[in-house]
């Protein structure tokens, strides 16, 4: 009788708002578990929820229907159940969460006695700005979330979704769905409250935490896209810079090699000019004066000396061409078409012959040394056409042919038979020199029947 009276009195005090907490006899309660850990589990039925204290020994998990008996410690409509016994009665869907803010949760307690709040233990869905996050090795993740001027904790079993954790530094808006646990302030020895009410949302798995795609999220996405574009542009610039640096290093190395080759060519040209060519000049002078010193020289001897003088003159011409080739440093930096075009312009400038050219089909680059020899072949061919055939017009035309290329040099001079032309054995080195230079670089030489068209074939065209 005394216990019943105490229960009636406690209920009256609760409804009247004069008591924050009370105890009564054992009470039966049945609901669906919304959270479970080693300390107990949250049980909800409708808009009433209790935190059931005690170990569940792994029998209770979110979605488990549990019938429990225990001593209630009310926090509002629900509260805590202590000294409990329970039995599992199957499974059921989780209760629909109540959408609310932290301000609404706290305001509910303001209308009730101290230590009371109708949101205690209920499954709720709350949004706020992610402030901090800690993924502990214990298997729980703790998020610090701010809603307005209040900050609350979200405790998640397992890892937070990557979509959320990847944006943690951007402070996105997140939505947490789970059981609402309230930590009420205590009082010290002086009767002063130690702290305000703390809100904690208990989320059973990672699916209970999600991004809210609001204006803040749109700004984050736009900022990340801009950053990705900037990083891509920066990478492209860096790659281009590296490429240019590599090209610059290669160009500098090539220039150093070119300078070394140029210096060597100049040295050889100087040696030939100052040495062998001067000896040729001295030999020619001696041969020329020898006939004057001996007026009674037999005719065969005089003819032999005259032929030797002519051969010496041709040798000097060849030597001068070689010296010109060695000193022609500008050729090393030009494409084949540009080099031959420049040679044609220099020949035209002398006024002896008009040289027209179509050289676009020539390759951009030739093997080392091939261009210099090609220039010598063209120069020798034009010189022979003017000197022996009295040509007035020369046409050079490059053509693509069977994976290679060909160069045709035609003139309007007097015809001749290439097969019967004087050779090296008679002191004429022009045609032999052309053939030798072409053969050195794998080119084939073809003459027309009248000797007025020279064709050089290179590459697969051979």
Per-residue pLDDT of the chain (462 residues; tens, 9 = 90+): 334 433 433 433 333 333 334 445 788 999 999 999 888 999 999 999 999 998 877 899 999 999 999 999 888 888 899 988 999 999 999 999 999 999 999 888 777 777 788 899 999 999 999 999 988 777 889 999 999 889 999 999 988 998 898 888 889 999 999 999 988 876 444 444 445 788 999 999 999 999 999 888 888 888 888 888 888 888 999 999 899 889 888 888 877 877 776 666 666 665 565 566 666 667 776 776 776 667 677 777 777 777 777 777 767 666 666 665 555 555 666 889 998 998 899 889 988 899 999 999 999 888 877 888 888 889 889 988 888 889 999 999 999 887 789 999 999 999 988 877 665 445 455 787 788 888 888 889 999 989 899 998 887 555
The strand pair at 27-37 and 40-45 is best described as: antiparallel
Q: Which two tokens stand for residue 288?
A: 């020329």
pTM value is 0.49
The DSSP string of 98-134 is: EE--HHHHHHHHHTS-TT--TTTT-EEEEEEEEEEEE
Question: Which helix H or strand E contains 142, and what residues bound it?
Answer: strand 140-147
- Count CA within 13 A, CB hemisphere, residue 45: 11
Which pLDDT value is given to residue 328?
A: 56
Neighbouring residues of 12: CB distance < 8 A, sequence distance ≥ 6: none
Which pLDDT value is given to residue 435?
A: 87
**Domains of the chain and CATH, by start:** 1-92 (2.40.50), 96-212 (2.40.50.140), 332-462 (3.30.565.10)
Rounded to 10 degrees, what is the CA torsion of 120, 123, 129, 130? 100
Q: Which two tokens stand for residue 395?
A: 């046409």
Q: How many CB atoms lie within 10 A of CB 231?
A: 10
Rounded to 10 degrees, what is the CA torsion of 90, 155, 157, 133? 160
Could you give the CA distance from residue 63 to residue 35 in angstroms, rounded to a whole number?
9
Which pLDDT value is given to residue 62?
A: 94
Could you give the CA distance from residue 174 to residue 210 in angstroms, rounded to a whole number?
6
- Count CA within 13 A, CB hemisphere, residue 396: 31
Residue 141, classed as helix, strand or coil, is strand
Could you give the CA distance from residue 458 to residue 20 in angstroms, rounded to a whole number?
105
Which pLDDT value is given to residue 262?
A: 67
Which pLDDT value is given to residue 291?
A: 66
């Amino acid at each position: 009788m005394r216990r019943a009276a105490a229960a009636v009195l406690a209920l009256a005090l609760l409804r009247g708002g004069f008591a924050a907490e009370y105890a009564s006899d054992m009470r039966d309660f049945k609901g669906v578990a919304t959270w479970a850990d080693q300390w107990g589990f949250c049980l909800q039925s409708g808009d009433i929820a209790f935190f059931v204290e005690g170990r569940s020994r792994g029998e209770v998990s979110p979605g488990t229907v549990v019938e429990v008996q225990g001593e209630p410690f009310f926090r509002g409509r629900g509260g805590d159940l202590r000294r409990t016994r329970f039995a599992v009665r199957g499974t059921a869907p989780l209760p629909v969460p109540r959408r609310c803010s932290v301000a609404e949760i706290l305001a509910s307690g303001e209308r009730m006695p101290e230590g009371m709040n109708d949101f205690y233990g209920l499954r709720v869905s709350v949004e706020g700005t992610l402030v901090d996050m800690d993924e502990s090795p214990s298997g729980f993740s703790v998020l610090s979330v701010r809603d307005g001027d209040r900050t609350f904790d979200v405790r998640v079993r397992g890892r937070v979704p990557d979509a959320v954790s990847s944006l943690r530094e951007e402070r996105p808006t997140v939505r947490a769905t789970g059981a609402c646990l309230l930590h009420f302030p205590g009082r010290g020895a002086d009767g002063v409250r130690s702290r305000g009410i703390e809100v904690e949302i208990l989320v059973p798995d990672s699916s209970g935490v999600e991004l809210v795609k609001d204006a803040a999220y749109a700004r984050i996405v736009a900022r990340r896209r801009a950053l990705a574009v900037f990083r891509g542009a920066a990478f492209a610039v860096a790659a281009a810079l590296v490429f240019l640096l590599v090209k610059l290093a290669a160009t500098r190395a090539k220039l150093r090699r070119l300078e070394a080759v140029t210096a060597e060519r100049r040295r050889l040209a100087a040696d030939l000019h100052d040495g062998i060519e001067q000896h040729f000049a001295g030999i020619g002078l001696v041969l020329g004066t020898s006939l004057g010193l001996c007026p009674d020289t037999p005719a065969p001897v005089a003819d032999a000396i005259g032929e030797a003088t002519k051969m010496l003159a041709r040798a000097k011409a060849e030597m001068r061409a070689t010296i010109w080739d060695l000193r022609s440093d500008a050729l090393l930096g030009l494409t084949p078409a540009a080099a031959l075009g420049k040679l044609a312009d220099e020949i035209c400038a002398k006024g002896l012959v008009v040289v027209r050219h179509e050289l676009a089909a020539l390759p951009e680059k030739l093997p080392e040394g091939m261009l210099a020899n090609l220039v010598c072949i063209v120069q020798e061919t034009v010189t022979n056409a003017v000197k022996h055939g009295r040509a007035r017009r020369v046409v050079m035309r490059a053509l693509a042919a069977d994976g290679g290329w060909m160069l045709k040099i035609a003139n309007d001079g007097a015809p001749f038979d290439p097969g019967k032309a004087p050779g090296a054995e008679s002191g004429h080195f022009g045609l032999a020199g052309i053939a030798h230079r072409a053969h050195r670089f794998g080119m084939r030489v073809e003459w027309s029947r009248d000797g007025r068209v020279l064709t050089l074939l290179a590459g697969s065209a051979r």
